[in-house]
Amino acid sequence: MGSSDLDVCAYFERAAEALSLSDDVREILRHPTRSVAASIKVRMSSGAIRTFPAWRTVYSNALGPAKGGIRFHPSVNADEVATLSFLMTFKTSLAGLPFGGGKGGVAVNPRDLTSHELERLARGYVRALRYDLGEGRDIPAPDVNTNGTVLAWMADELAALEGTARTAGITGKPVSLGGIEGRAEATGRGAAKVVHTLRDHLGLGDKAALAIQGFGNAGAQFARDMVAEGYVITGLSDSSGSVVSRDGIDPVEAETYKREHGGLKGFADPAPDDDLRQADCDVLVPAALGGWIDGDNAARVAAGAVVEISNQACTVSGGDALEDRGIHVVPDILANAGGVSVSYLEWAQNLSGMQMSRDEVFADLDARMVRIAKAVAQRADEDSTGLRDAAYRIAALRLADALEAMGTQRLFNE
């Protein structure tokens, strides 16, 4: 990976130095295991052929088959996919899951496609990568602009190519097609459990105020769960604009308004300069695309804590700038690990044939998120460091133990 501002490998380098990891482990985890590029040909409704560039990267499979979403977005490129696969590697390790990390994407605006064209694209992605995907190799899931229907098409295509009816090679499917109850709520619910567990570490009092950038599925679920715990939502934003209210925002009313008006704009007072980073709140929660807080705009953040529900919400320099100001940052590999935790349960359910109820899924999810949040906070206190460094040290150590078990330079020089 490169050395740009988006090079999250810097987080691993810091952990490796703090843990005195071996040169072998450092060399292995500095580079993706496998990156594949493909050109997907789609017959459009007009009869013409269009080609869409696509990628899939497995950063590491040291702990098990790779796990990671597939996003459909115009800005997707090889570097972004590699970065996200790195984050997934450390996220699954931190969560204690039997997975490595992967990620995929297609450079496309799905809103420009008809439903038929979108299905051809989804199935074409699987055909292009058929030898790389599978329940024991690399297991995709939903991400930006992909949903249960898209993943159902992919699961059906992969099963047909493998000559099986089992669909464990894809997660995030509709419940009726092998999905699992609670997957849609998992990311937002998991993030809420993390924040509530860390409330003392973050210095949050009763009715702490939160502002959420990105009021999609994860952001809305997080808002509902946090309000149920007694917190107050004072700011929200989506692609239409940012709104604030000192009296608090009812997330259910905000969702209804967004459905009826196509966005949040006009639901409440506009945020200062239409920039939720400046909102007067205790916790700022980026829950949209990454890179929203960088080294230039981190100075605008007024909150005392930032919770990264979106992947890489802060660039490396942005996150460092926040911590230099004494602002707590709950890293993405902790805050949004709820999604992959429930994807693991779906995968296990598909393999075993056992069925889990929604209550069972939530009990497992809640226990896992509380456990890893407490572990990260304890490590941060013991090492007198931030939550991100603590999380990466825990994750890096588990990866290092697996790699060391295969033998390093020390073994071969004995």
Distance CA 322, CA 284 (A): 12
What are residue 49's DSSP bridge partners? 43
Report whether 78 contacts 35 (CB < 8 A): yes
Euclidean distance between CA atoms 222 and 225, whole angstroms: 5
**What is the number of other CB atoms lying within 10 angstroms of the CB of residue 11?**
23
Distance CA(388)–CA(293), nearest Å, equals 15
Sheet of 283-286: strands edge to edge?
Answer: 269-270, 241-244, 232-238, 209-213, 283-286, 305-307, 328-330
Return the SS3 of 242.
Answer: strand
Active-site residue, 258 included:
no
Helix (H) or strand (E) holding 251: helix 251-261
Catalytic pick among 41, 67, 91, 103: 103
Are 399 and 62 a contacting pair, CB within 8 Å? yes
> CA dist 2 to 5, 297, 312, 359, 366, Å?
9, 23, 16, 43, 36
Sheet strand arrangement including 49-60: 34-43, 49-60, 100-106, 66-72, 138-142
b/e map 132-147, b = 16+ CB within 10 Å: bbbbebbbbbbbbbbe
DSSP one-letter code for 288: S
Stated as kind and residue range, the H or E segment containing 410 is helix 409-412
CB atoms within 10 A of CB 250: 14
- Residues with Cβ within 8 Å of 293's Cβ and at least 6 positions away in sequence, in order, are 277, 286, 301, 306, 313, 314, 315, 318, 319, 322
* Contact in structure between 357 and 216 (CB atoms under 8 Å): no
Residues 6+ apart with CB under 8 A from 228: none
Tokens of 3: 């050395």
Active-site residue list = 103
